[in-house]
Structure 1
Amino acid sequence: MNERLARRLGPLHARQRLGIEDAHEAQAFGQGLNFFHFENWYSVHAMMRLVLRLCGLYGRGRRNAAKVALRRNDIVCARLPRAFDGYVLLHLSDLHADMSEAAMAATRALVGGLDYDLCVMTGDYRARTFGGFEASLAVMTPLVRALRAPIYGVLGNHDTIRMAPALEDLGVRLLLNESVAISREGASIFLAGVDDAHFFRMDNLEKAAAGVPPEAFSILLSHTPEIYAQAAHAGFDAMLSGHTHGGQICLPGGAPITLDSHLPRRFGAGAWSYCGMSGYTSVGCGSSVLPVRLNCPPEITLHRLRRAS
């Protein structure tokens, strides 16, 4: 076992995560919240590419995948401390950096002129679900350097736990079933994050929330929104996620063909709410399976915290 991982995560979490990865990381069927994992069925990728080429959509889809849009969203809560009214979080998700170099360049250009207080990243930094991760880190490095600290993140179903030390060396503080207090003008809010809940099933909400006072305003980072009910009943005020890509290849009007997720479609993209918890599912700034997008532009999001009057 990697000694640094054992120190960082605890030997039990590290041993579990590494063992599950080694046994199951490239499976198309079985494991995870969904029995079928489309992104791991690699024989279909070439077929999809061919179909899009025959339809004359592949070139347009590749161009669309590089046109990253800036979205804005307000998160309103009565128990937000007054000191954090107007506090802004920059949210990046699903970079799949080594497949999405043009999108990463566009994202880097976008973030340079933005005003925000903290950056969060909700997983899937690697294109494939197995193998090396050096190529994704090489593409991510100039992007992360363009971001303003502090930067917090979680891992997704495409990410190996072996990436964790390198990501943290790069400046991304991972929250792996952990929480951290964010202080401002004598007040605090709490940011928590869980390990991947979609495929590796290493999320532990109880552990992530253990350090959060019951009366405190708290935000949960989870790669997948599929644990929305658990998060709401655990007392989180907001939840930021990704994973779905909003469908990535959608019908005219933005209707997704699939979200590769076990959840109601209203949670598949953009802002939503559940049992008093505000949620937002980013469609991501990168692309998965193929570097194409149709009727679903990539995005980064600025979330502004607002205190309800």
Structure 2
Amino acid sequence: MSRRPAHPALTALGAVGAVGVACAVWGIGIERYLFTVREATAAALPPGSAPLRVLHISDAHMAPWQRRKQQWLASLADLEPDLIVNTGDNLGHRDGLAGLRRAFEPFAGVPGVFVHGSNDVHGPTPKNPLLYFAGPSKTHVAPEHLDTSALDAFLSDELGWADLNNTAASVQLGGRRLDFFGVSDAHREWDDLDALPGAIARLGERDAATPLLGVTHAPYQRVLNRFTDLGAQAIFGGHTHGGQVCLPFYGTLVANCDIPLKQAKGLSAWTHGGRSIPLNVSAGIGHSIYAPVRFACRPEATLLTLTARDTPA
């Protein structure tokens, strides 16, 4: 007795379902553990400057049980960076600092700077991922407050990194002065851009050989434009997760802020007011514990070598 052939619609539905399952297995079970170091070079420093190897880390969203992530982060100390730039969202759980200590303690003694993302202050909450296509996410439930003071004490007092939340700081690196300014999470409108000119002025006189670098968690256009106006010679950002779930051969679908999608991860140039400067947006290392997936967007840290420009900014 011959079998009737399957209806084409059922065959197509089955194929789509199989592809969906395979993608879920890859994104949840494999790719989110495929940690990678992206290396890039940008001419951003004053003419005559020696190269500067910057390890840019962002969006760890650390939970205490994430041992593979902690071990990989700790191993990055072997890269021997000159400087760490941490663009926030370090915590992903109320007890995330324990895991963060295991991850970051090998960096003690390496100069660094940091800013906050919202998940350095508030714990993660469940969200419908489809809402990201409607625009930047909003908080609809009362968040859990995290121990930000303990996080800052670890980063500042134990690791020696400079807090750039709505302020500026100078960092000494082998007798070399580097100037930084930054803002707290612009996604939550915690940024105070008007505080920055005074903060930069309080750093004192700067000569032509002193770099000025901007650091933000969320790379909103208002922040990038103001940083450019203030004379930043390069900008570091995070927050976007590079889209987290991307389309192969297409790229980022959502950025969770108003940055152009083509600049939501990696090294690009930000142009405003007649100036064009390097912008590095990290695709980040982690994810919310409520969205444990990465697809076509591997978790990353960036080893960015800043070199001297041929001409002044």
TM-score by length of 2: 0.72
Which residues of structure 1 form unaligned runs of 5+? 1-50, 128-132
Q: CA deviation at 1:122?
A: 0.3
Structure number with greater Rg is: 2
Deviation string, structure 1 residues 244-267 (Cα, Å, up to 9, x no partner): 111110111251221111121232
Give the aligned partner of residue 79 of structure 1.
46
C-alpha change, 1:283 and 1:99, in structure 2 (3 Å) is: farther
Q: CA deviation at 1:219?
A: 0.9
Q: CA deviation at 1:277?
A: 1.8
C-alpha change, 1:147 and 1:273, in structure 2 (3 Å) is: same
C-alpha change, 1:266 and 1:303, in structure 2 (3 Å) is: same
Say whether residues 1:170 and 2:161 are aligned partners. no
Amino acid at match of 1:107: W
Whole-angstrom CA distance in 2 between matches of 1:208 and 1:134 = 32
**C-alpha contact (below 8 Å) 1:108/1:143 kept by paired residues:** yes
Q: CA RMSD in A?
A: 2.6
SS at 1:188 equivalent: strand
Say whether residues 1:209 and 2:175 are aligned partners. no
Give the aligned partner of residue 117 of structure 1.
82
Whole-angstrom CA distance in 2 between matches of 1:103 and 1:52 = 29
Give the aligned partner of residue 236 of structure 2.
240
Deviation string, structure 1 residues 149-196 (Cα, Å, up to 9, x no partner): 323211012221864421232234322112221234554221222111
Whole-angstrom CA distance in 2 between matches of 1:239 and 1:100 = 32
SS at 1:284 equivalent: coil
SS at 1:225 equivalent: coil
Give the aligned partner of residue 284 of structure 2.
284
Give the aligned partner of residue 212 of structure 2.
218
Give the aligned partner of residue 26 of structure 1.
none
Say whether residues 1:189 and 2:178 are aligned partners. yes
**C-alpha contact (below 8 Å) 2:64/2:95 kept by paired residues:** no
264-273 vs 99-108, greater mean Cα deviation: 99-108
Whole-angstrom CA distance in 2 between matches of 1:291 and 1:100 = 13
Q: CA deviation at 1:126?
A: 2.5
Give the aligned partner of residue 302 of structure 2.
301
Deviation string, structure 1 residues 55-110 (Cα, Å, up to 9, x no partner): 3322211221111101112231352563xx12211111001112881552353353
C-alpha change, 1:58 and 1:307, in structure 2 (3 Å) is: same
**C-alpha contact (below 8 Å) 1:93/1:121 kept by paired residues:** yes
Give the aligned partner of residue 256 of structure 1.
252
Give the aligned partner of residue 93 of structure 1.
58
Whole-angstrom CA distance in 2 between matches of 1:52 and 1:118 = 45
Whole-angstrom CA distance in 1 between matches of 2:192 and 2:244 = 25
Same amino acid, percent of matched pairs: 25
Whole-angstrom CA distance in 2 between matches of 1:272 and 1:52 = 37
Q: For 1:54-73, what aligned pairs fall within 5 Å after superposition?
A: 55-62=21-28, 63-73=30-40
Q: CA deviation at 1:52?
A: 11
Whole-angstrom CA distance in 1 between matches of 2:81 and 2:259 = 30
Deviation string, structure 1 residues 186-225 (Cα, Å, up to 9, x no partner): 5422122211111133333335533355654211110011
Q: CA deviation at 1:137?
A: 0.9
Amino acid at match of 1:165: S
How many residues are treated as equivalent by the alignment? 252
Give the aligned partner of residue 40 of structure 1.
none
SS at 2:295 equivalent: coil
Give the aligned partner of residue 198 of structure 1.
187
**C-alpha contact (below 8 Å) 1:100/1:286 kept by paired residues:** no
Whole-angstrom CA distance in 1 between matches of 2:280 and 2:174 = 27
Amino acid at match of 1:170: F
**C-alpha contact (below 8 Å) 1:94/1:285 kept by paired residues:** yes
